[in-house]
């Protein structure tokens, strides 16, 4: 399927991933809309070619307007915190509103989920078919699982749903696993949160944007893919960042977390990374030369 002539709505365009996805789709699609809650930012998005539309996941009517004439919605928005009510409003009620609007508009949905739906396993090898941690107590995890369940229920009513499950999303700008790690280490007296024996299911944000295009154009309804570039040892990742920081280090008092996540299924669509791990590490280490 080609995206030329298609109109695509992207949620979460003010976040780490959504803006990168929207920018990647601009040369492919007829129109890329961005769902935005603050009208004061319209000029910012218009200047780069994204059509801003005012809306909120908690407002069904606004989603119906935003979805008008859309062929696709790429749902990148999510609440990541620990507040149960906010998690339910965004990740459960918001997904119901979005799925309803998409079904009514005849649009297809690519949902950005997370590998956290498997819980927090200490080890093991996770595939897209691995069981989800349905009884997990964390609000983020339980509501992201529920959002997948809701979309699968809508799929039985005819909604074309495809799911990407990213791992640890890294980037040099606006990323918990990237520049924010740098700042956190720069500001710390001692780095205490990195276990040297952990594995990280690393993926660059711009690589996820590439995966989005492939799932839209080459995927099938009901497909689920991990969005993971590689399972990286912390000795190659944040331990190198700690060394660059020059800060004292203390091993955390917890067991190592060493699950691995399958990376082969997304490659069947022809996926090749555009940003390598080593290239990214060079840029992250360079950030330590900058002032806090």
Where do the domains of the chain lie?
Answer: 7-167+204-227, 170-200+230-259+270-287
Residue 290 is predicted with a pLDDT of 75
Question: Which pairing describes strands 108-112 and 31-36: parallel, antiparallel, or unpaired?
Answer: unpaired
CB 85 within 8 A of CB 72: no
Residue 291 is predicted with a pLDDT of 62
pLDDT, tens digit, for every residue of 231-265? 999 999 999 999 999 999 999 999 999 999 999 99
- Tell which residue, 157, 129, 133, 130, has the closest CA to residue 144: 133
Average pLDDT (146-152) is 98
Tokens 């996540």 locate to: 261
- Tell which residue, 106, 17, 97, has the closest CA to residue 62: 97
Phi-psi region of 224 (alpha: psi -120 to 50; beta: other; left: phi over 0): beta
The percentage of residues in the chain with a pLDDT greater than 90, rounded to a whole number, is: 96
Mean pLDDT, the chain, whole residue set: 96
* Helix, strand or coil, per DSSP, at residue 216: helix
This prediction has a pTM of: 0.96
Average pLDDT (106-113) is 98
Confidence check: pLDDT of 292 > 60: no
Q: Which residues contact 84 (CB under 8 A, 6 or more apart)?
A: 139
- Residues 25, 28, 30, 33: what is their CA dihedral angle, to the nearest 10 degrees? 0
Give the pLDDT band (50/70/90) at residue 1. Answer: confident
Confidence check: pLDDT of 56 > 70: yes
Average pLDDT (54-77) is 95
What CA–CA distance (Å, rounded) separates 242 from 248?
A: 8
pLDDT, tens digit, for every residue of 159-191? 999 999 999 999 999 999 999 999 999 999 999
Average pLDDT (127-132) is 98
7-167+204-227 belongs to which CATH class? alpha beta
Residue 217 is predicted with a pLDDT of 98
Please, is 168 exposed, middle or buried when counting C-beta atoms within 10 Å of its C-beta (0-12, 13-18, 19+)?
buried
């Amino acid at each position: 399927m080609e995206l030329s002539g298609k109109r695509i709505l992207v949620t979460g365009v003010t976040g780490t991933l959504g803006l990168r996805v929207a920018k990647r789709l601009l040369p492919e699609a007829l129109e890329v809309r961005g769902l935005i809650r603050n009208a004061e930012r319209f000029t910012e998005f218009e200047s780069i070619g994204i059509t801003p539309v005012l809306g909120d996941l908690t407002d069904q009517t606004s989603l119906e307007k935003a979805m008008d004439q859309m062929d696709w919605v790429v749902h990148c928005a999510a609440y990541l915190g620990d507040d149960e009510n906010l998690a339910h409003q965004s990740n459960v009620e918001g997904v119901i509103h979005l799925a309803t609007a998409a079904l009514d508009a005849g649009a297809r949905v690519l949902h950005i989920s997370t590998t956290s739906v498997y819980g927090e396993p200490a080890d093991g090898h996770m595939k897209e078919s691995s069981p989800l941690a349905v009884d997990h107590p964390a609000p983020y995890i339980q509501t992201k699982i529920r959002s997948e369940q809701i979309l699968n229920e809508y799929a039985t009513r005819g909604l074309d749903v495809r799911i990407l499950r990213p791992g640890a999303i890294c980037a040099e700008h606006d990323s918990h696993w990237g520049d924010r790690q740098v700042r956190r280490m720069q500001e710390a007296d001692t780095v205490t949160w990195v276990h040297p024996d952990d594995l990280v299911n690393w993926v660059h944000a711009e690589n996820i944007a590439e995966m989005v295009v492939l799932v839209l154009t080459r995927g099938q309804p009901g497909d689920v893919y991990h969005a993971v570039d590689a399972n990286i040892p912390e000795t190659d990742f944040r331990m190198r960042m700690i060394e660059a920081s020059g800060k004292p280090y203390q091993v955390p008092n917890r067991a190592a977390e060493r699950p691995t996540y399958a990376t082969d299924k997304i490659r069947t669509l022809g996926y090749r990374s555009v940003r390598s791990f080593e290239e990214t590490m060079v840029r992250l280490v360079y950030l330590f030369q900058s002032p806090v």
